[in-house]
Every structure is written in structure tokens, then in C-alpha cells.
Amino acid sequence: MLIKIRSIANIGLETVPVDVEVDVASAGFPGFTIVGLASKAIEEARERVKTAIINSKLDFPPKKITVNLAPADLPKDGAAYDLPIAIGVLLASGQIPVHLEGVKAHLPGEGEVDLTKSFFYGELSLDGTLRPTRGILLLGLFAKKCGTGSVIFVPAESASEASVVTGIKIIPVKTLTQLASHFLGREITPLTEKPLKDIDELALPEFDLVEIAGQEQAKRALIIAAAGGHNLLMWGPPGTGKTMLSKALPGILPPLSNSEALEVTRIYSVSGLLRPGQPLVYKRPFRSPHHGTSTAGMIGGGSNPLPGEVSLAHLGVLFLDEMPEFPRTVLEGLRQPMEDGTVEIVRVAGHIRYPASFTLIAAINPCPCGYLGHPRRECKCSDKQIAKYRLRISGPILDRIDLFVAVAAVETEKLSLTQEHPADRLTSKKAKEQVLKARKVQSTRFKNGKIGLYTNSQMRNADVKKHCFLTAEAENLLKVAADRFDFSARSYFRLIKVARTIADLESNEKILPLHMAEALQYRQII
């Protein structure tokens, strides 16, 4: 008997339907073959499925079994086809006494399982239990697109991923035996859907600005970066709080909107990085890859390309500590995503595009040993070494960074004498209010403008001319500064963008000299 089970394949963030056709022939030598461009992991499904069925006290038919994964020309990978193959074998061998009427599998009881509307997806363990499987959210979203009445059968441990998708029935399956009884009438209770609610409450930041003593200018730079979506470079000796400051950034960025949260979760679902029971990524991602990360790890890759760090940081923060220590090829690979907000990966398996729109926070030491300019420790590097170290970050990357801020070593005794009371310190909550205000000003300004223009940092030169009104004094100030600091045309526009954000923070329509003067504080220093 031939049975057709529906399943899916995830190619990047795209989902395509896959039909798992299982035929248990009544004649021929016993055997078990899988065809349809299956990878090694799927080939091995034969052993898993066979053993799991036997260990579930069910019969594995000693007949000629052929499994076809259609479309046959699409390469398929992963162990998630175990469940559709197993259920296909059980149905096709007639062990679950179903009456086939067309494609509907009637249960002996009242219910029925409409195989045309059911999706099976999950990895089997040898004892017949289902293992957590990645990409469940994408399956849920795809099932919803397929129409009402869709049912997905997925491993219980990963089922919560899909619970944010409304309008589909999610059956969390623990074991193969349980699923077999479901077909026999003892139905498994479907998962209740959890529609998205206001997720900001759940997103507690990892670090609050209030925990960081001193570094007022760096904090101010963070607020400007968050408000205008600017990339930021922090420059200073080790141990001055660069990492802590950047960890505080997700907490002052505007909360993820529901659609943004879903977008981020999709990426995490494909990567298999969602914890069991975690339906959604609520927090803005903060990724801090080590400088040993390879290009494939940063940009995404593999023969079946998975998202890299740039995509995992989508709509969040990518923090590169000790930026000059990253291999040059890895840093240069950041250029396309920083420009376009997406990254395209081409491999044998195909051409995949992942979103990668992030705020870059780079931290660099002033010199290889890190102590140049430190009040107490001596730097041991030669001038040549220092110059070489700084040259490791190429111009095109620096061009994409709008804000530069020096983070000096904090002399604790000085702090305790002059520092205001911790209660007066800026909290992330207050900072966030400022950021939200400035973002609102920007969204009103860009409402009727180009598509894809949301923040000041995304403005091209033409947009700068259109949206940034400098007073005569501010323009004059900029010209004097350009002359004095020898600005390139590009840094000229970068400064105007930063000044625009500073003016937005004060809800000022014009860029005043004061705003321009403050922006000059964050000019390129390396």
C-alpha cells in the first residue's frame, strides 16, 4: 500500500513542502530503501526508524519498503524525516488499521486525520521517543500559510516554538507509541496557542547602565547609537567597561515589535538555538563572537548554509571585542551586511539570503598590549607596532562606523570623590525613554520618504541634504572643523548624521551649533 505523508524542508529561512511517499510492497525481497537526494543523516534514518518501531512494540514489516522524498531534485538534510517515514511505514503496512478513503485516514473512533492537511516533522530516538528538532517555528508558519485546519505533529519538546502561530493545531508527540494510539482514538491534547502579547515586559536587559560607574561620555554615545542606529567604536585600555557598556545597549534599544520578534525567532529556530520550551526570542539579540571566529561562522556557511553571527545578531547588537584581532577576511566580510542589512551565501546546496541588520559595537585597545595612555601601567609597544595594530581595521569598515568614543581607565578614588550618588545615575529605563523619543521623531520624518529608511544612520548623502537643516552657525562650525581636522567628504556627512540624531534627542528640528559641536566629540579618532 502507498501512503503519502506531508513534511517540509527548510532552505535558509524559506520553507518548501516535501512529500514523503512510503510504499510497502506485497511482493519482492524484504528491504528498506530511501530515494530522493537524501543526505547521510537521512540514509541513517533507516536504522533509527526500524529500531524505534521495534522498540515501540510495533511490527516492522519484513517486506520491500521504498521511501521517496519528493521533489526528488531538492537536496534534503537533517534527521527530521524520521517521524514521517516511521508513521508512513506504520500506515502503509496496515498496522494502524486505517480505512483509506482517497487520502483521508479515518480512525476507528470518531476523529479522523486528514493526511493532506497534516505535517509530520521530528527526529526519532532508538527507543521510540522524539527528540527536539530545529525549525519547528518555520513549519508552523508554513502550515498556517497552507490554509485553515492544518495540523502539525512535532516533538513535544520543541512544540512550544510553534505555539505563537495562531490558526493551526499543534500536536506535541512524546513517543511513537503515543502517536500510534492517537491514530487509534486516544487523541493527544493539542497545544494551546499563546498569541503574542506585549513582550517588552519579558525582555529584562542583561546589564543596566546604572551598574556602570563613570564613563558618562561613553554612555551618552550609546544613547546616540541606539537613537540613530549608528555603529559605534569604543577605544580604550582593557578593564574600562567596554564590554559592560555594550551589553547594556540591547536594554536601551526600542523593544522588538511582534513581527520583529518573529523574524528573529525564525533565524534562531533554523539554527536550533531555541531552548526547549522557549517559544519566542523576546530580547534583542546580543552576539559577541570570539576573535577566532571563521568567516563562515561570522557570515554564515556550511554545505547546507546556516546563519552566521551577523544574522544571529539581526535587529540586535553585534559586539566585536578586540576588533583588530579578528582576521582581516572576517572583518571585510562584514561590509556587505553592514551596507545592505542582508547577507547572501552561495554554496553547492543553493543560494541563501539571511537578514543581517545589526548595530555594530566594536571595542579596540589603544595598542597591542592595551595600556597606552593608562594612568598607572606602562605600555610596552613600539610606535611601529601601534601603527600596525590600528591599520588592521580597513578604511571601508571604519567608514561605516559613525561614532568613535574613547573609554578611559577609571581611577576609582577620583570617582568616589566626585561621583554623584548612584541613585542619580542614568538608568537604562531613562535612557530608553530618550531613545524612544528620538526614534519617534525619526519615524515621523521618514514616514513619507524612501522605503527601508528608518533611522538617521541609514541616510544616504542625498537624504542628508534633504532631511538635515543646519543653521548657518552650525554649518560654519562644521567647515572650520573640517579644515582643522582634515575631514574627508565621508566623515563630513557622518558628522551631520550624528548631529541630526543629537538634535532628534532634543526634538529639535534644526541642527544647532551646540549639536554639531557635540557630534564633533565623536569624530573618527583612529
Partner 1 sequence: MQYHKLKNWQSIPELKSLHDLSTPPKELYFAGKWNPDIIKNCSAVVGSRKMTDYGARVVEKIIPSLIMQGKTVISGFMYGVDQHVHEVCVENRGKTIAVLGWGIDTPLFGSDLALAKKIIASGGILLSEWKTLKAAHWTFPARNRIVAALSSEVFIVEAAQKSGSLITAAIAAKLKRKLWAVPGPVTSRTSKGTNQLIASGKAQMWLGTDHLPGEYETDDPILEILQNEALTADEIARKLKNPVSETGANLSLLLLSGQILEKGGKYYIADVN
State the residues that interact with partner 1 by CB under 8 A.
Answer: 214-220, 235-236, 366, 372-373, 376, 378-379, 382-384, 406-408, 414, 418-419, 477, 480-481, 484, 502, 514-515, 517-518, 520-521, 525
Query: Least CB distance from residue 495 to partner 1, whole Å?
Result: 11
CB within 8 A of 181, min separation 6: which ones? none
Q: What is the nearest approach in angstroms of partner 1 to the Cβ of residue 320?
A: 20
Q: Round to whole Å and give the CA distance between 112 and 79.
A: 27
Q: How far is the CB of 78 from partner 1 (least distance, A)?
A: 51
DSSP character string of 355-424: E---EEEEEE-SSSSS-TT-SSSPP---HHHHHHHHHTS-HHHHHT--EEEE-PPP-HHHHHHHPPPGGG
Q: What sign for the dihedral angle of Cα 8, 11, 13, 15?
A: negative
The end-to-end CA distance of the chain, in Å, is 72
CA 34/CA 139 separation, integer angstroms: 22
Of 73 and 378, CB closest to partner 1: 378
**Residue with smaller CB distance to partner 1, 26 or 418:** 418
- What lies within 8 Å, CB to CB, of 146 at 6+ separation is 17, 117
Which residues, 6+ apart, have CB-to-CB distance to 270 below 8 Å?
10, 12, 13, 134, 135, 138, 306, 307
With respect to partner 1, which residue has the nearer C-beta, 252 or 520?
A: 520
- The nearer residue to partner 1, 137 or 477, going by C-beta atoms, is 477
Pick the closer one to partner 1 by CB: 193 or 475.
Answer: 475
Element of type H or E holding 346: strand 342-347
**3-class DSSP state for residue 501?**
helix
d(CA 149, CA 490): 55
Closer residue to partner 1 (CB): 274 or 502: 502
- Look up residue 346 and give its amino acid: V
For residue 178, list its beta bridge partners.
none
Query: Which residues are registered as beta bridge partners of 10?
Result: 15
Q: Which is nearer to partner 1, 377 or 490 (CB)?
A: 377
The β-bridge partners of 2 are: 23
Q: How far is the CB of 457 from partner 1 (least distance, A)?
A: 19
Q: Which is nearer to partner 1, 190 or 373 (CB)?
A: 373
By beta-carbon proximity to partner 1, the closer residue of 384 and 447 is: 384
Provide, rounded to whole angstroms, the least separation between the CB of residue 168 and partner 1: 50
Q: How far is the CB of 497 from partner 1 (least distance, A)?
A: 16
Using alpha carbons, list the distances in angstroms from residue 481 to 112, 169, 435, 439, 499. 76, 63, 27, 28, 14
3-state DSSP call for residue 168? Answer: coil
> Is the CB of 454 or the CB of 492 nearer to partner 1?
492
The x, y and z cell numbers of residue 455, run together, are 533611522
CA distance 120 to 111: 18
- Name 420's Cβ contacts closer than 8 Å, sequence gap at least 6: none
Cis peptide before 17 (omega within 30 of 0): no
Work out how close the CB of 378 gets to partner 1 at its nearest, in angstroms, rounded to a whole number: 5
- Least distance in angstroms from the C-beta of 417 to partner 1: 9
Smallest separation (angstroms) from partner 1 to the CB of 235 = 7
- Is the Cβ of residue 171 or residue 511 nearer to partner 1 in the bound state? 511
Query: Which residue's CB is nearer to partner 1, number 310 or number 381?
Result: 381
Give the closest residue to 253 by CA, choosing from 196, 191, 209.
209
Residue with Cβ nearer partner 1 (124 or 222): 222
Shortest distance in whole angstroms from residue 387 CB to partner 1? 9
Burial 235-244 (b: 16+ CB within 10 A, else e): bbbbebbbbe
CB of 407 to partner 1, least distance (A): 8
222, burial (CB in 10 Å: exposed 0-12, middle 13-18, buried 19+): buried
76 neighbors 135 (Cβ within 8 angstroms)? no
CB of 360 vs partner 1, minimal distance in Å: 21
Q: Provide, rounded to whole angstroms, the least separation between the CB of residue 327 and partner 1.
A: 24
